[in-house]
Each structure stands twice: as structure tokens, then as C-alpha cells.
Structure 1
């Protein structure tokens, strides 16, 4: 769940590490740190700070590191131990330093064994065992790289590791398993390491995205890769050229910018995939749906809500039995998997640990697999048999917006593709579906005055004892997503419910200080949902209605446009819910882009 960077070269290492960590801060910002060792001076300078990268920058303001040398840096999302300087990375032994992303599952056994040998640990983390294990092995193994190799062999769990040591002051040792690690080189003989490609864009033209089980050693101008004890040569892939994503372009927050980008990225998602009123998914195997009678959608968090939305569409439109699984539960439930099921894994980052492990289970059971993902070359993309990239571009706000939008759009296209194969829609019905999906980019444009109106309304919602977001059919997962967005960035209690479930318990909480956000589309179950809302009004609940139809019983109301397809209404209401969460968070003075306790890429269980 953390971000790591490394550098070997002659430039000012502090700035490269700080700049790299800033690009990875979305992965965690409980604490950060760096360690630097120069060739002419084998002393290792290290710094740690609690909180965001700016605190580490302040701590290192008087430090310079010119000349050839090596450096590693880390930004942390706490898993083992509180966010303190002692628990911050890098962790050090007597003469070595390590940074680590992931979880060492057998760290307690290793720790207990090392403690019996006299090692005294300072931190509460699992990472610290790595550096002490390495130094302990080096007592009997004279070659530092061999000692590192033996260290990695003893580790169970997920890890991306960078280790430096005075025992071999020119090198960075590295290892990767189940979490991302990228290595790049350039014409200046510099070596670069990172958890994602963002920190190294502009510093190299291509990079190597390491597979699980890869480890190695790097020194100025040279990198060696190994797997299962044998030297390998990972393929190189071109890095993106554009760093404009790092600019807010006049918006106050990346999340705000990304909400406004949704219209453009939706166009990118659809581009080349719709021709002559037909869905053309050239990226996937033409025979992917042969023999498929069931769909399994598997994801976490916001991606899970996209999966739930798609499940309604697969069954209604493509007439295919569909099951939705929370990845963190699926991987431990000993699932019964039939080979006539297509397993669809959904992840923004492509590195979501639970979803990745669930995908491995599906593959090991012989299921056909499809990844819906935003990041090319990610672990999930490389593992799946078939891939559809959502093309959302880099999403820096921790609370997902455009990634969710493009996931739902992509899944809708898969549904229509399958419906065409199975002939569950008439030719005219399929044309109407395609016409509707093509309207989505325009619908996602934020209308003039909408955000200002929501800003004015938002002042009503700063006090109370919670929120209900309610909807039926696909508007139930949209209600779940609206509640999640509000929870993530406002820290206010919010729950999403199927409207018809209110009377089965939740309505007991309704009073004038309980805010209900009611999604009332005109094209699907309007009267049923309206009746559920009236039950809340009758109990003095405060209701904010979103609908194309006037609702005179509501306390607040936003009128949406008149659409003919319920999914067009879905996307219009989605934007309203995103802006609603954004404006409440801003009024509360929260850090919209980096909400507390969260990280963007969830690479641990």
C-alpha cells in the first residue's frame, strides 16, 4: 500500500527521491523517509518524517547529495504499527537500510528467531525483519547479493523491496512479489526504481515491469535480474511521455479536475469500440464467450459498485446469470467454480491485492478471465487472458471518480457485445442501446451553475447524525457509490440502501437530523422509489431528491435532464453525487485528494 522509489546516478539524489515520492503520495502519506549513500563516502544519511512529503522535504532542506551514489525513498500507508517516525521507512540494521511495500506474512516467526539471536527491534513493523535477516545471513555468507537472495527466499507474503548496505556501497538490491515494482535505465547509465511509472516519466524512455518472483542487483550503468536462481531479461515497455496529469489546470483539487474530465475520458473509452451501431471489442478474443453461461464479477470498493451495476445489465440485457463477489471474501470462501463461467476482475490500478489473488484462483481453476483495468502493464492486466483498458488516464485523487465512470461504461459495452452474440436484443433494441451509450460523454459534462448550486446546498449537510443514499435497480449500487464518496472525503457517516429495504430496518433511524439522498430516475421504478421516499418524509426525514420529475415533498431538489434511457440518468446523477461529496468535504476543510487513512492503490490485504 506504500510507494517506493530508488535511484543510482550522479544527480542530486535528494530531489529525485522527493519528486518521485510526491508522485506516489496517493499510495500512502502517513509518513515518509529516504536513505542516501554516495560513492566517495560510504556513510548512509537517512531522514524520516511523519505525515506528508512536505514534512520530509522540510527535514532535508539543508541536506545535499552531489556525485555518484545511490538513494531509496518511501511513502507509507500504515499496516503494521502506527504512523510514527520509528515505524517509518527506511528501516535500518547495523549497516544496511531497507524500504518495503507489502506485507511479510511470516514476520513474527522471523522476528522471534532473530530475537533469540540477540537482535533488538525498534519498530512495530513487519519490514524491519528484512534488514536484520539480511545482516544475520551475511554473517555466514560472504557475498552480499547471495545473502539478499537467501533473505528473499525466507520471506512469505507480498513485497517490493529495495535494500542498500555498506557491505556493497555501489548497489541497490531489489525483489518483487505480488506488488508492483518497475525498473528503468537511461542513456546516462542512471538506474531508476518505482512503484509506478509516474515518478520516472521524463527520466527514461522505457521501463521493465517486473513479474512476481523477480529479484536482482543494480549498480551504476548495470542491472541484473533473476528468477528461481537463473538470470532473466525482462522485456522493456515504452513509458508515457506526458506529465500534464500532475497539473491541476486551475482546479482546486485533483478530484475536482477528474470529475470535470469524465466527459473527455468517456469519449476515450468509447473510441474505436463502436462502429456502425455495433460494439467492436477488438482487444479481446473473439471466442471468449464460447461456452459461457455465467458471469462472475469480482472487485473491491468503488470497482465493486461498478460490478454491481453491471450485474443488472448482464442479466437484463444479455440474459446471462451473473454473480458479484467482493474480492477479499471470494479468495477465502473456497468458491465453487464452473468452467462455463467467465471471471471478470475489475480494478483501477491493476494492483489491488485481493482482486489479483481472486483472479489467480479463477485462472488456476481453468476459468476464462477478463480484466477491466485502467493501468496497462499492471499485474492484473498481465495475468488475465483478456483485457479491456478503461482509458481513464492517471487518477490522482484517492477517491475514485473517472475510473468508476469508465469501468461502468466499459462493462456496459461488454454487456452489449454479449447481447449481440447471444441475440438477446433485437437489431432495433441494440441500436437504441448504442445510441444511449454514445450520449454519455455529453451527459457527463458538468452544466453551468450545477457546482455552484450544490455548493449552496451543501451547507445544509454539515450537521446531523448521518446520511442514507437510496435507489433501486442500478441506482442501488449508485447509492452505495454516492455514500462511499461522501464517507471517503468528508468522514461523515453515510450508508447506501436499496430503497425497498428501508422499511426492513433502516427506517428506524429516520428523523429530522438524518439526511436521505434519494435517486428518482423516471425510466425505471420511479413510482416504487417515490413511495419509499414518501415513507421517509412521513417520519420527518430530511430528503434531498435528485430526479427529472419535480418532487414537492423534498427539502432539497436537483432537477436532472429528460433522458430516455435509465443509464443516461445514472451517469447524470453520478456527477451530482460526486460534486455533492466534494463540496461538503471542502466546507469541512478536509484534504479532498488525500483523505485520512486511505491510499489509492490497495496492494495489501
Structure 2
């Protein structure tokens, strides 16, 4: 979750760029840089490490100009270094970028074939060269920008300077947020309201696929088709900007929409896209492990279930997972040679912490998958694997769930390689698939209008069943949990094959059945279970992918088509629709979405 700031100002901007970047330090970063434009020329300064290192560079080599862009970088493609720090320049183009360009290697090869030379290892530099390529072909800046955007696959937020065009910055967003700030004779671009907060409280939130050009007085916004559009301006107070909801009514809604960027940030910490390797910090010898023991509660437990499927399938490493509140009381048989993984968004969950300490007392090596890196859990384990998803305010966990699953997916790939279950080529293939997740999650969120329509009927129900097989059975549990905790509708999740062993007795024409079934090795059996339900009058909402929709049994009340994805990441891609369904049902019922009754964000008592 790199930070971006752009200013078309009336006064020198270097100090203000630095001020804004300091407000974005919470997003995490390993390098920083700024670029300014004066008299048609662009100059930049970059530094490895904290912003104070960049300030030292600027003290020695000052920049004076009234237009500029700045960036704090969290390394994805290419190691942390000054050479890989943003901004990046190619020809007339200088830009900063948050996100992952999935097809950067293909584009880079194409650009190198025409003689272009690259200075960094980043995917970002490809975007700069691509825009400059279209400029060199005679396109005007906005046309060149749009042509480049049309070639990009992945998630991004961009701020772009064009040499020779003073008082002009272009920006775009897809899968990563970008806002426009309006001042008095000045305009701003930023990663969020906090970035532009020191300069203005008038903020316009760009929508998915939008691109924009700003000058001193206005922002010209276009949608992804290139059609000029108006987006509403909002007044954001300084305090609200610290944890602001943006265009969203609730934090939960915002956090669902934050998932492409959050997932990107998580994945960046655990894979090396240049080498095509998964990397798990800490001294864990996966080849020597007898098994993994996961302990967790609630949504974290369900994330662990998804991880169990992936780790056992890819790495052939046995995984036991247990609800922490049960684990410590049943005198489990624990032996050294296992790795105990505690999973908790807060890192303070009392039951999970107690289970972790029991594992430590039995001599197990321990690790924690947590969001809060300074938490008790993080301090007490041997290895910390942070999920890096940023603050989660809503009580019902959404982006922390997909971040936890992202970490466990990377772990499954790393363990499989370490145990000799996959070779280097297969590891590279799986890493490429994992890089697709942020984009596909963003596309999956695009089902929101269809979800809203379904929510109208679900809100009238007294009972709802969720069904799935394989990893989707875990998502069925998660979908039911989300619906229960924020809408107060009774819901249950089941492995679809268990339907005929009892739950099918609940099925009638008044019971909505949510079936999760992408077109994978489980699909045929899932479709059969769906037919069993429909034969008994069940009202089926079928969430699948394009191929699954093509083969869907006749009779489903609603078919929602998520984007096609590899089974490795389908749990990530399929999460957004079930989260959105719970959210919109709760809104229709008038529930307090962010603070549901009887629940707390961090359960620090047993």
C-alpha cells in the first residue's frame, strides 16, 4: 500500500510533498522519492529507507518548483534500493505507482525489442516507457495515457508528469485508491484523504477505472471508456481523514473494497515476482516439519481451513486446525517437530494466545499470522508473518480474512518448493497466478449490483444455507458467519456432500441456498448437490465462474458469475460476493453494520 501525492500548486511544493509523505508512513514503505517540474523540465530525488533519508538528499540537492509528485514505496518487483525507488522516468514521462502490473514482463520484452533501455527491476518503469512510447508516436498526453492504460493488466494507482507540460498531472486508478483534492487555485492527487489532508478538505474519490488530468483550477475526470464524467466532491474533516470511510457508508463496505490493494500489499511481502519465488521470513525448515498445527477463532479459523486445503494439496504436509477455545482444554497430543501457527487479526485474542502458549510449553516452534505486529502474540512467537492489510475498523473481518488467506497461500507454495513437491518452473507459475489475485478480487467486487438485487430476498429469510466443496466449504462457513454476525439472520455453512446426511431436511421453498462452486475438480459433485436442493424447492443463489455458469443445472433462481480464476486463488476471488451479500442484507435490515450487537473487534477475554 504505497503512498502517492501529487500537487499542482501556487508555491514551492518540495516541503509539502514531504509533509504529505510523512502522513502516509503508516502504509509501510522501504524507500521514498519526489519529482518536480519547472520550465518544462522534470527533476527527481530518491532515497532508500525512511523519509528522513530523502530529506537529507533534498537538503543537499534542493528542488524548487510549484508542481510535483511524491511516493513511499513498498517493494514488489525489485529489491528495496534507490534504483528501484519511485518516481521512475522514461523519456518525457515521470510517474509514481501503487499496485502490481501483472503483464509487465510481456510489455517489457516488447519495449526492449524496439530499443528501449530499462534502469530498474520494477514493473512500474514499464508503465513510464509505455506512455512515452505512445507520446513518441505522436499521441497527445491524455491519449497516450489512455492507450497505455488499455494495455495494462493488474491493479494500479498512478500519478504522472509529462516533460514539456507544466501545471499538469495525470492520474488513474484500478484496484488501488486515488483521490482528487481541490484547493484555492491548487489541485492535488493522493492515495487517500489523509494524503491531501494538509492542503484541502475538499475530496473527490475516483471510481474503479477512472483516469484524470488536473491543473491549477480543475480536474477533468474520465471513466474507463474515456467518457468525461462528474464525481461528487465531499468535505472531509482532518480527524475523519485519519480513519475515513471515503464514499462508503460503513467501514465494512470500504474494507471490502480495500481488498484488492490490501491483498496486493500482503502478496508483495511474501513473493519475489522477478525470481518467481515465494518467501517466508524466519527460520522455518518446511522440509523438516512433521505437521503444522493451526489455532484460531472465528474468521481467522476459517482462513486457516482454507490454508489447510492449500498446504496439504501443494506441500503434502499434514495440517491440523482447531478452534483455539477447544484446543487448550482437550489435552491435545503435541510433539516437537510440528510448527504451531496462531492466527489472529489483533494478535490479542485470549483463547488463541492461551492455545499458542500451550504449544510453546510442549516444545513446538511457533509462528503468528497477525495484523498487529506489536501485539502480544507477535512478541511471543518464534516467527511473525504479518498480513499487512492496514487498519480494519469494522468488527466483521473482511480484508483481514483475505490477507490471512494470501499469507497461507504463499506459505503453501514456499513449503511445496522446500519439500520438493514442485520444481522451480511450477513455483514460478503459481507465483504468477498469485499476482493475479488483486485484479480478480477487484473484478469480483464488480458483482455488487447483482448482489444488491439478491439481498432484497435474502433479507426476508429466517434461515439461509451456504454450501460448498473443498476450499469452498470453508467459504460457505465464512459466508454464513458474516450473515449471522451483522444481519442477525440464522445461517449455516456446510460441506455440500454433507447435505444428504441431515441438513437437507431444512430445505423448503422459504430457505435460500447459497451455493459456491467455481468450475474446478469439485464442480460436478457440487452441481449434483445443487440439483438435490432444487428438487426439494430450495431457492438457489449460485455463485460460480464463467465456465461454471455455462454448465449450471437448470433451475437456479440467480446465477452470479465471478471472474475465472485458478483454484489456487479462487478462495480469494470468491470471498467478495459473500461479504457483499452479508453487508447489503444487513443494510436492508437496518442493522449496525460496523458494530453488530454483542460483538467486539478484539476478544481479549475467554
Query: TM-score with structure 1 length normalisation?
Result: 0.58
Alignment match, 2:555: 553
Q: Which of 281, 284, 290 lines up with 1:283 in the alignment? A: 281
* Distance in 1 of aligned mates of 2:250 and 2:391: 14
Alignment match, 1:499: 496
* Distance in 2 of aligned mates of 1:365 and 1:449: 47
1:87-126 paired onto structure 2 within 5 Å: none
Q: CA RMSD in A?
A: 1.9
1:491-570 paired onto structure 2 within 5 Å: 491-548=488-545, 549-550=548-549, 551=552, 552-563=554-565, 565-570=566-571
Alignment match, 2:441: 444
Q: Does the alignment pair 1:253 with 2:254?
A: no
Per-residue deviation, 1:544? 0.3
* Distance in 1 of aligned mates of 2:523 and 2:331: 39
Q: Does the alignment pair 1:321 with 2:322?
A: no
Contact 1:446-1:575 within 8 A present in 2 as well: no
Contact 1:524-1:566 within 8 A present in 2 as well: no
Contact 1:277-1:435 within 8 A present in 2 as well: no
Question: Gaps spanning 5+ residues in structure 2: where?
Answer: 1-237
- Residues 297 and 448 of structure 1: is their aligned pair in 2 closer, same or farther, counting only changes over 3 Å? closer
1:195-274 paired onto structure 2 within 5 Å: 244-274=241-271
Larger Rg computed on CA atoms: 1
Alignment match, 2:598: 597
- Match of 1:435, SS state, is helix
Alignment match, 1:417: 414
Q: Does the alignment pair 1:391 with 2:388?
A: yes
- Match of 2:288, SS state, is coil
Question: Gaps spanning 5+ residues in structure 1: where?
Answer: 1-240
Per-residue deviation, 1:356? 0.4
Alignment match, 1:488: 485
Alignment match, 2:156: none
Alignment match, 1:59: none
Contact 1:481-1:496 within 8 A present in 2 as well: yes
Alignment match, 1:117: none
Q: Does the alignment pair 1:583 with 2:584?
A: yes
* Distance in 2 of aligned mates of 1:319 and 1:436: 20
* Distance in 2 of aligned mates of 1:532 and 1:481: 19
Instruction: Show structure 1 runs of 4+ deviating over 4 A.
Output: 241-245, 446-449
Per-residue deviation, 1:458? 1.0
Contact 1:546-1:560 within 8 A present in 2 as well: yes
1:2-401 paired onto structure 2 within 5 Å: 244-275=241-272, 276-281=274-279, 283-285=281-283, 287-289=284-286, 291-401=288-398
- Match of 1:271, SS state, is helix
Deviations 1:442-478 (A, max 9, x none): 1111568522221122111122331110000000111
Per-residue deviation, 1:415? 1.1
Per-residue deviation, 1:273? 2.6
* Distance in 2 of aligned mates of 1:307 and 1:440: 18
* Distance in 1 of aligned mates of 2:563 and 2:509: 29
Deviations 1:505-540 (A, max 9, x none): 000110001110001110231001000110000000
Alignment match, 2:451: 454
* Distance in 2 of aligned mates of 1:282 and 1:558: 35
- Residues 448 and 307 of structure 1: is their aligned pair in 2 closer, same or farther, counting only changes over 3 Å? closer
Per-residue deviation, 1:291? 2.9
Contact 1:372-1:390 within 8 A present in 2 as well: yes
- Match of 1:511, SS state, is coil
* Distance in 2 of aligned mates of 1:592 and 1:399: 8
Per-residue deviation, 1:571? 1.9
Deviations 1:216-273 (A, max 9, x none): xxxxxxxxxxxxxxxxxxxxxxxxx998451111210000000000000111101143
Per-residue deviation, 1:503? 0.2
Contact 2:398-2:579 within 8 A present in 1 as well: yes
* Distance in 2 of aligned mates of 1:304 and 1:448: 23
Alignment match, 1:4: none
Contact 2:510-2:538 within 8 A present in 1 as well: yes
- Match of 2:464, SS state, is strand
Per-residue deviation, 1:289? 3.0
Contact 2:444-2:563 within 8 A present in 1 as well: no
- Match of 1:295, SS state, is strand
Contact 2:250-2:593 within 8 A present in 1 as well: yes
- Residues 321 and 310 of structure 1: is their aligned pair in 2 closer, same or farther, counting only changes over 3 Å? same
Deviations 1:270-316 (A, max 9, x none): 1143223443436312x443631111111000000011111111111
How many residues are paired up? 364
* Distance in 1 of aligned mates of 2:239 and 2:577: 30
* Distance in 2 of aligned mates of 1:245 and 1:301: 28
- Residues 572 and 273 of structure 1: is their aligned pair in 2 closer, same or farther, counting only changes over 3 Å? closer
* Distance in 2 of aligned mates of 1:566 and 1:447: 15
* Distance in 2 of aligned mates of 1:387 and 1:242: 32
* Distance in 2 of aligned mates of 1:468 and 1:558: 17
Contact 1:520-1:545 within 8 A present in 2 as well: yes
